[in-house]
Each structure stands twice: as structure tokens, then as C-alpha cells.
Amino acid sequence: MTPQRVAVASLLLLAGCAKVVKPGDPVPGLTRQQRDRFARGKTVFDSTFTPATGLGPLFNATGCGECHEDPVAGGRGDEIELHATAFHAPTCDPLVEEGGPVAQLHTTPALKQALGIDSEPVPPSATARAHRTSPVVFGRGLLDLVPDSEILSYADPDDRNHDGIRGRPGRSLDGRIGRFGRKALVPTLREFNAGAFPTEIGVTDPEQPTEESIGGQPIPPGVDPVADPEITQDAVDLADDFVRFLGAPTAAKLGKDGRRGRDLFSQIGCASCHIPKLRTGPSPIRALARREFPAYTDLLLHDMGPELADICLGIATPQDFRTEPLLDLRDAKTFLHDGQAASLEQAIERHGGEAAGVRDRFKALPAADRNAVVAFLKAL
């Protein structure tokens, strides 16, 4: 490159880094071909299935975009799911042979006619049930690329620094570090995205070519005549790329209050779990490689106390939850895994367990300072 070209290229690079990412925008710097896949993947994500195109026989919704939709594709949704597992300390049984851990809330007309049910029965051996709101999936492609070593560097299972905050990584059943889902069970974005087709929509894909059971029982003959797999590998790959390329929204410009709130967020210890910025490792996708991005999570499991507790999953106990990334809070209407907090203040007040000390510091702040923290969160 000539010196002039180098100068132009680095200016473009700087412009790319400084670019504001709005909710639903792709990460800056994708190639034209990747932008094309993002657009085509969005079509798959937003498409709706019918029984004739593979929906069901059990399902929670007719397409990804029915749940991840607000304010744009990839955002939150008002669907609330039902999960159930059995906890026999220290082990967790996901009750797969009884149709767990997700009890789908809808059935196709054909299944309803055959079995007379309009949802999957909750596994009879369940020791707890959980409600799950549909979160944003923004920035998940970046979270996928945070090196394991960085996640492990935040873990402090024995609380060696005596701040009351421990944190340990979730694990998949085969022992890899988990990062996706409220209980950090799923290690890669790819697996979560591909798994959502059968679990949420009842659509089999080449990676999971057989329908899930109905409460552990096989599907009655004739109920699901569409040949498996019900979508192509190409469609799965495109939907995966759409989610992968969704950027992490940049915070709105902070006013005086917001800046004070951002400082307090660190000072009182929120940032011990909600790590403001993470950095990705190498990737063949240059726009995702070695990027610093707003994350507000350590991707670790924390004991949040008895009030928030529901189900176990993998190594996560009923009280353990993965630190929720704080992304696009400006558009959120309810908070926490079950949507039970109607405001940001309530969400903070319901933090317990390892977060109890930090929560109490928040509650002890003068009202103007508490409002400043909330103003900061509303800019995210």
C-alpha cells in the first residue's frame, strides 16, 4: 500500500471503531458478502413456520422473530417460557426422558386431535419450574468469541479477595465452558441457535434431525408428516450468521447524571459481575476479531440467593444465574429471568446472594445517586 492508502485505510478503521451501533445493527466492518448473509439470515430468523412447513408438533412460537422482536429482529419478546428440571443436590437432572427441560406451551392441531393436549405436560419428576422471558440476542456473536481464559480470569470460586463475590463458569454436559442461556449451559452460539429450531419451533434441522419426544413419548403416527430434517443446513447457517453478526448496541450519549451513574456503577461494585467491556479473541471474521465491546457481564454463574432461585441446569444450582449482559436496557419493559421486576430499581433490589453487599450499597445511596445509576442503565 502507498502511504496515502495506509492513511486512508487507518482513517476508515478508526471510523469503523467509533461507529455507533444501534439495536439491530450488524457489527461495523462486515464484508459485502457477510452483510448479504446478515440480510438473508434475518429473513430466515423472521420467517414463520406452519405445520405444513415443519412447525411442531410441539412448539413455543412459530419463528425466532416472534420472540426476539422488540424493537427490531433480535430484540426482546413478551413470550414467557416454562422450563422444569429435578435437583437432587448436587446433581441436576434435565429430565430429557420426560420431555424436559423445556415444556413447550403449544401443540399443532393434529397433535391436539391425537392426544387431546394443547401443551407439553410438565415432567412429573420435576422438583421446580421456571419462567423465562425472551432476551435480546444482540452482541452474542461477540460474547461467543471471548476467550475461555478471559472468562476464567474473572472467576473466584473460593472468594480469595473476600469481596463476597465468587463466580464460576457454567459447564456443558461434556465439560466445556458454558456461556449461553440464563444458566450458562450452552458453550457456543452455534449450538444455541441450531438448538432453538427444534426446541422453540419444533423444526428439525440437519444437526438435530429427530423431533423431540412428547413428555418422553414418541409422536403418534401421522401427526407430523413433514420429512426430517424440516429445514436445510443453509437456512440454519444463515440464521446463525444473522445472530452472530448482530452488534452490541453502543450506549446513548451520557449526560451529567448518566456519567455520575456510570462511575457509581463501578464504585459500588456492580461492575464486579457486570464487566463493562470484554474483548474477543481471534476469528476468521475480521469484524468480530479482537474487538472490545460493551458487554456488562463476566459470563459467570453467581449464587443470587433464595429469592430469585428456580431450576437447576447443568452445574448451575437453583440459585445460580449467569450475569445477564446489560444490553439495550433502554428498550426493556420488564427485567430479570422471569420478567418479575417492573423497573430497574426493582431488578437491583431483587439481587441477593453474592450480590447482596453491592445491592445494599446501592440502597444506601442518596436518592439522587440511585437515580443517576438508573439514568446510566437506561442509556445502555
Q: Where does this chain bind ligand HEC (CB under 6 A)? A: 60-61, 64, 66-68, 79, 81, 132, 134-135, 137, 140, 165, 180-183, 189, 192-193, 196-197, 200-201, 239, 243, 265, 268-270, 272-274, 302, 304, 308, 321, 323-324, 326, 332, 335-337, 344, 347-348, 351, 354-355, 358-359, 362, 373, 377
Residues 6+ apart with CB under 8 A from 266: 276
State CA 182 to chain mean position distance: 7
Cα–Cα distance between 282 and 279 in angstroms, integer? Answer: 10
Q: Nearest approach, Cβ of 84 to ligand HEC (angstroms)?
A: 13
Which CB atom, from 205 or from 224, has the smaller least distance to ligand HEC? 205
Which CB atom, from 21 or from 327, has the smaller least distance to ligand HEC? 327
Cα–Cα distance between 230 and 253 in angstroms, integer? Answer: 45
Q: Nearest approach, Cβ of 170 to ligand HEC (angstroms)?
A: 10
Which CB atom, from 95 or from 347, has the smaller least distance to ligand HEC? 347
- For residue 71 the three cell numbers come to 424493537
Q: Nearest approach, Cβ of 116 to ligand HEC (angstroms)?
A: 23
Which CB atom, from 64 or from 92, has the smaller least distance to ligand HEC? 64
Asked if residues 323 and 302 have their Cβ atoms less than 8 Å apart, the reply is yes
Say if residue 229 is preceded by a cis peptide, omega within 30 of 0: yes
Q: Nearest approach, Cβ of 336 to ligand HEC (angstroms)?
A: 4
Which CB atom, from 249 or from 269, has the smaller least distance to ligand HEC? 269
CA-to-CA dists, residue 369 to 147, 162, 231, 296, 374, angstroms: 35, 26, 51, 20, 9
Q: Nearest approach, Cβ of 6 to ligand HEC (angstroms)?
A: 38
Which CB atom, from 213 or from 340, has the smaller least distance to ligand HEC? 340
Q: CB-based burial of residue 373 (10 Å sphere; 0-12 exposed, 13-18 middle, 19+ buried)?
A: buried
Report the amino acid identity of residue 340: Q
Cα–Cα distance between 329 and 315 in angstroms, integer? Answer: 28
Q: Nearest approach, Cβ of 2 to ligand HEC (angstroms)?
A: 43
